C-alpha cells in the first residue's frame, strides 16, 4: 500500500507547515555554534500552534543530541533538558506548545523515525522539519514531514511508521519582518563595497525570480498538456501577479528607466 493511502488511514491530514524566519535564524545559530565545518547535525524542539491541518512554527530551542556515525541505532537526546526548557518557555508564552522537532539533516536519516517516536510522548502527531543550513540552490530551505502508520496488504506482516512529506512555507508577522530586516542590515561583510553588495543582492533576487517564473511556466505547460488538472485558485493568484506588473510601454516609465541606467553608468 502506498504512503498516500497510509496517510488517509491515519485519520489525520496535515496540509502545510508554516515556519517563521526567527526560527530559521535560531536553528542556523545553533548549527554554527555546535556543528559548523563538521558532518554532524543539530536537533531541537519546535514550538507553535496547530489548527485545521496547519502547523504554525513560531519558536524553537536547541536540545543536546548525539548519535553514533557507524551505528544509527545508537543515539541520545536529553529529554530532561527539553522538559526543563519547555517549562520555562511555557511561562513566557502559554499559547505555544510542542509541535515537533527539527534537524539540520540535510536529509532524512535512518534513525529519524526512532527520534520521532520519542516526541510522540510530548505531542500526539509531531512534525519533523529538516532545515538545510547550507543550501546550494535558491528556494525554501525547509522540508516538513509527519509519520503515519503504513498498513500492509498482507495481514501477516506488521504495520510500520513511514514519513509523509507535507508542503512547507516561510511566513512572518509584521513585527518579525521588521526585526529580520534590521538584523540583515547589520549582517554584512565589511570587506565588500556597498555597490558590490547591492549588485549581489539584486542578482540573487533576479535568480530567485527566474526560478519562480520557470516553475510557473512548467506548471502551465503541464496543465496545457493535460498532465495536471486545472486549478482555478492557482490561476487566480497568477492573474493577481500579472495585474500587479507595470506596463513597460508607458513613455514615462521608459524615460525613468533610461535615466536611472544613465546615472548608474
- The residues with which 63 forms a beta bridge, in sequence order, are 43
pLDDT at 260: 60
Dist CA 125 CA 53 (whole Å): 11
Cβ proximity of 78 and 104 under 8 Å:
no
Span 3-178: which CATH code?
3.40.140.10
Which uninterrupted H or E stretch holds 262? Answer: helix 251-264
Eight-state DSSP code of residue 194: H
DSSP state letters, 42-57: -EEEEEEEEETTEEEE
Report CA-CA distances (Å) from 258 to 30, 52, 202, 245.
Answer: 46, 50, 18, 19
pLDDT in tens, 91-123: 989 999 999 999 998 999 999 999 999 999 999
Q: Looking up cell 516553475, which residue turns up? A: 215
pLDDT in tens, 143-184: 999 999 877 666 666 778 899 999 999 988 776 766 666 655
Dist CA 230 CA 172 (whole Å): 30
Reported pTM: 0.69
For the chain, list residues with pLDDT below 50.
Answer: 1-11
Number of CB atoms found within 10 A of residue 168's CB: 20
Eight-state DSSP code of residue 73: T
Dist CA 16 CA 12 (whole Å): 12
pLDDT at 164: 93
Cβ proximity of 30 and 41 under 8 Å:
no
Amino acid at each position: 500500500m502506498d504512503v498516500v493511502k497510509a496517510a488517509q488511514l491515519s485519520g489525520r491530514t496535515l496540509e502545510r507547515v508554516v515556519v517563521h524566519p526567527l526560527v530559521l535564524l535560531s536553528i542556523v545559530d545553533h548549527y554554527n555554534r555546535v556543528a559548523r565545518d563538521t558532518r554532524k547535525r543539530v536537533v531541537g524542539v519546535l514550538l507553535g500552534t496547530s489548527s485545521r491541518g496547519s502547523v504554525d512554527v513560531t519558536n524553537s530551542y536547541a536540545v543536546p543530541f548525539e548519535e553514533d556515525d557507524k551505528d544509527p541505532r545508537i543515539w541520545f537526546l536529553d529529554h530532561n533538558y527539553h522538559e526543563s526548557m519547555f517549562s520555562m518557555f511555557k511561562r513566557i508564552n502559554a499559547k505555544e506548545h510542542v509541535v515537533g522537532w527539527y534537524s539540520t539533516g540535510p536529509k532524512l536519516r535512518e534513525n529519524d523515525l526512532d527520534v520521532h517516536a520519542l516526541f510522540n510522548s510530548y505531542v500526539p502527531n509531531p512534525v519533523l522539519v529538516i532545515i538545510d543550513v547550507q543550501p546550494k540552490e535558491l528556494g525554501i530551505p525547509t522540508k516538513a514531514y509527519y509519520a503515519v502508520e503504513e498498513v500492509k496488504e498482507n495481514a501477516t506482516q506488521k504495520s510500520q511508521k513511514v514519513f509523509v512529506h507535507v508542503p512547507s512555507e516561510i511566513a512572518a508577522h509584521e513585527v518579525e519582518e521588521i526585526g529580520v530586516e534590521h538584523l540583515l542590515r547589520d549582517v554584512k561583510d565589511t570587506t565588500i563595497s556597498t555597490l558590490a553588495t547591492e549588485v549581489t543582492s539584486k542578482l540573487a533576487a533576479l535568480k530567485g525570480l527566474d526560478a519562480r517564473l520557470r516553475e510557473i511556466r512548467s506548471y502551465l505547460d503541464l496543465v496545457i498538456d493535460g498532465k495536471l488538472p486545472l486549478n482555478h485558485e492557482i490561476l487566480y493568484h497568477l492573474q493577481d501577479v500579472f495585474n500587479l506588473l507595470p506596463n513597460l510601454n508607458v513613455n514615462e516609465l521608459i524615460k525613468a528607466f533610461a535615466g536611472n541606467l544613465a546615472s548608474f553608468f
